[in-house]
Amino acid sequence: MNASSSSSTVDVATVLAALRRTLGDVAVIDADAQDAARYLNDWSGDYRGAALAVLRPATVAEVQDIVRLCGQHRLAIVPQGGNTGLVAGAVMEGTPRAVIVSLERLNRIRGVDAENFSMSADAGAVLQSLKDAAEARDMLLPLALGAQGSCQIGGNVSTNAGGINVLRYGMTRDLVLGLEAVLPDGSLFQSMTGLRKDNRGYDLKQLLVGAEGTLGIITGVELKLFPRPANVETAYLGVASFADAMALFRLAREVCSDLLTAFEVIGAECVALASLANPDTRVPLQEDWPVHVIMELGCSPTIDGRALIESLLAEAFEAGLLGDGTIAQSRAHAKAFWAIREDLVEGQANYGRHIRTDLSVRLGDVAPMIERARAHLSSNWAGWQPLAYGHAGDGNIHFNVLPPRGMATDEIRRHGSRVLEDLYAIVREFGGSFSAEHGVGRSRRSVHWDWLTPEQRAVSKALKAVFDPLGIMNPGSILPEA
Ligand SMILES: Cc1cc2nc3c(=O)[nH]c(=O)nc-3n(C[C@H](O)[C@H](O)[C@H](O)COP(=O)(O)OP(=O)(O)OC[C@H]3O[C@@H](n4cnc5c(N)ncnc54)[C@H](O)[C@@H]3O)c2cc1C
């Protein structure tokens, strides 16, 4: 019997009373309490979740207690970090039939090992706090994303988060040196070795990375750190097309090699959304350009980063790839460039319900894919406005679509799902992915399942069964419920 089919028969009140006795009042929030709302609803406001209760363990042993007790009673668990995920992985809609386990109280930085260039932390530590702690020791934790002030490292690992620095440092997966997790039977998986090289058989910790809470609850993480680039150069550029932006990227890779840390594109139409979130938005370009680029490189003070970026831009200008641009004169100036990129995401949330994607294609297909999707929308979906921006240096574009102003929510839902299907069909034509970095969760489960081959489906189910034979861990996320 799996968790979903049996939870209606569970004496939930008895289980919650036992949990309250074990964990104390502070760790149990009733689902109808006012405080529960922020755990139930996701960041985007698109998903209104429901739960039997919210549990907030403060120690690894308490996480084990919860998982054991839920397992005994076949009660489903939804692990939750900062609840900034965008695919309904940490919230469950419909009739309440699971407990949310929030890691927010398990949030200590366990230590920084400067000699090993690594740090370890509880899973509930907020990403920004880890970045600050690394910086205080003159090192860099390169994972960087708009939600870093709220998302937790356990959530980042569970979604294998990307962000703006993947170009140079890789996805979260590449930063994980060790993991600790409570498995669905309540046992503790320990692999906090801090080793960079360790080829002893299967790399089991990597199975938990990107598993979105379906295989266990991550409680601790050890992460790779890097020397902090003291010399950072940031440029905000205007170019004529996405094709030119990608040609510029190629040139930047050749000229700057691995010093390039970020290469983001922003379709000019997105700037209006940034202004929606921040009316003081000022684009640092002399003229209007159809596509904007934020490019950053980082190096040690012994390298003349400014000379490098200037020579790149001169070469790009000469080659006709670059229209206009500004190099940041200070960290505050660079921060203002990045604010445009962050505000345009916030602006979309302010606009209201819209279609959100997270597509990836091979680098050579970025510009053709965007043009194809734009052409498709303009001929088939009059009034729907495309917004294209993203981590172009990783082939990752958020091709989002705003519905016509004033359209009713149920109309947006109905038509929007067809717009989404069309966009997924287009990215599939290019051999791409519908989820570059946000994961699958519940909102993309059916497309994920649809795209898998029968062999891939069988292996996914078998893997889930090995870790979680009772199906209590985040049921309905990534895989259909058994
Ligand atoms: C403004 C904004 C910008 C963003 N930018 C990016 C970006 O650039 N790149 C990117 O990749 N994502 C981005 N995201 C998405 C999101 O921030 C990431 O997916 C992030 O990694 C989620 O972390 P979280 O702690 O909020 O996890 P949650 O949303 O709480 O959970 C996400 C998933 O992980 C599981 N989970 C959480 N914690 C644990 C744990 N300890 N153990 C097991 N499972 C767990 C949950 O069950 C859920 O399935 C952005 C989101 C916002 C709102």
The per-residue pLDDT for range 368-411, each reduced to its tens digit, is: 999 999 999 999 999 999 999 999 999 999 999 999 999 999 99
Stated pTM of the model: 0.96
- Ligand 1 pocket residue status of 158, Cβ below 6 Å: yes
- Predicted confidence at residue 90, as pLDDT, reads 97
b or e along 207-230 (b: 16 or more beta carbons within 10 Å of the residue's beta carbon)? bbbbbbbbbbbbbbbbbbbbebbe
The per-residue pLDDT for range 326-379, each reduced to its tens digit, is: 999 999 999 999 999 999 999 998 998 999 999 999 999 999 999 999 999 999
Q: 80 with 101: CB under 8 angstroms? A: yes
SS3 401: strand
SS3 321: coil
Q: How far is the CA of 42 from the centre of ligand 1 (A)?
A: 11
Q: When comparing pLDDT for 378 and 12, which is higher?
A: 378
Q: How far is the CA of 103 from the centre of ligand 1 (A)?
A: 13
- Ligand 1 pocket residue status of 84, Cβ below 6 Å: yes
Nearest alpha-carbon partner for 191 in 183, 469, 65, 107:
183
**Residue from 59, 78, 151 to probe ligand 1 pocket by mutation (most atoms less than 8 Å from CB):** 151
Side-chain-side CA neighbours of residue 180 (13 Å): 21
- Predicted confidence at residue 45, as pLDDT, reads 84
- What's the mean pLDDT when you consider all of the chain? 95
Determine phi and psi for 49, rounding to 5 degrees: -85, 175
Q: How confident is the model at residue 44 (pLDDT cuts 50, 70, 90)?
A: confident
- Predicted confidence at residue 1, as pLDDT, reads 41
The C-alpha atoms of residue 412 and residue 400 are separated, in whole angstroms, by 13
Atom of ligand 1 nearest to the CA of 154: 41
- Predicted confidence at residue 482, as pLDDT, reads 79
- Ligand 1 pocket residue status of 79, Cβ below 6 Å: yes
Q: How far is the CA of 478 from the centre of ligand 1 (A)?
A: 14
Average pLDDT over residues 144-169: 97
Ligand 1 atom 44, closest CA: 213
Ligand 1 atom 50, closest CA: 147
Instruction: Fill in the DSSP letter of residue 48.
Output: B
The C-alpha atoms of residue 278 and residue 266 are separated, in whole angstroms, by 16
Determine phi and psi for 419, rounding to 5 degrees: -60, -45
Average pLDDT over residues 266-281: 95
- Ligand 1 pocket residue status of 57, Cβ below 6 Å: no
- Ligand 1 pocket residue status of 437, Cβ below 6 Å: yes
Ligand 1 atom 15, closest CA: 85
- Predicted confidence at residue 9, as pLDDT, reads 55
The per-residue pLDDT for range 218-250, each reduced to its tens digit, is: 999 999 999 999 999 999 999 999 999 999 999
Average pLDDT over residues 309-317: 97
Average pLDDT over residues 277-295: 96
- Predicted confidence at residue 397, as pLDDT, reads 98
Atom of ligand 1 nearest to the CA of 477: 49
- Ligand 1 pocket residue status of 443, Cβ below 6 Å: no
Of all residues in the chain, what percent carry a pLDDT higher than 70? 98
Residue 278 burial (C-beta neighbours within 10 Å; 0-12, 13-18, 19+): middle
Is the model's pLDDT at 190 over the cut of 80? Answer: yes
Atom of ligand 1 nearest to the CA of 157: 21
The per-residue pLDDT for range 92-130, each reduced to its tens digit, is: 999 999 999 999 999 999 999 999 999 999 999 999 999
Q: 68 with 445: CB under 8 angstroms? A: no
Ligand 1 atom 8, closest CA: 163
Is the model's pLDDT at 4 over the cut of 50? Answer: no
- Predicted confidence at residue 6, as pLDDT, reads 44
- Predicted confidence at residue 5, as pLDDT, reads 45
Contacts of 270 (CB under 8 A, 6+ apart): 344, 387, 388, 389
